[in-house]
Amino acid sequence: MFEHKQCMLLLARFLKGQYQVNEELSLEIMNTAKAIRNMIIKYYITRDKEILTKIMLKIPGLIENESRYVQSILNAIR
């Protein structure tokens, strides 16, 4: 998931030169995905179920930001 978000950031940087695309939102999405990835690794090491709860709380915000970001890309290239 994190690697996909890195690719999306690269796409945002490319499109920023051509269109009005919000690179900051893409960076925020990538950082959230990275945090979730790190939390998953920590969970596998510690087996602390509280970490799973924290992950589940981050996912809806990630989905919402990604939806807004994709919509902004579509609006920019139309």
| Interatomic CA distance for residues 59 and 37, integer angstroms | 11
Q: Please say whether the beta carbons of 49 and 25 come within 8 A.
A: no
Residue 76 binned pLDDT confidence (cut-offs 50, 70, 90): confident
pTM of the model: 0.79
At 5-49, the pLDDT tens digits run 777 777 777 777 777 777 788 889 989 999 999 999 999 999 999
DSSP type of residue 17: T
Residues 51-70: what's their mean pLDDT? 95
DSSP type of residue 55: H
Q: Which long-range contacts (CB under 8 A, 24 or more apart) does 59-67 make?
A: 61/32, 62/29, 62/32, 62/33, 62/36, 65/25, 65/28, 65/29, 65/32, 66/29
Residue 58 binned pLDDT confidence (cut-offs 50, 70, 90): very high
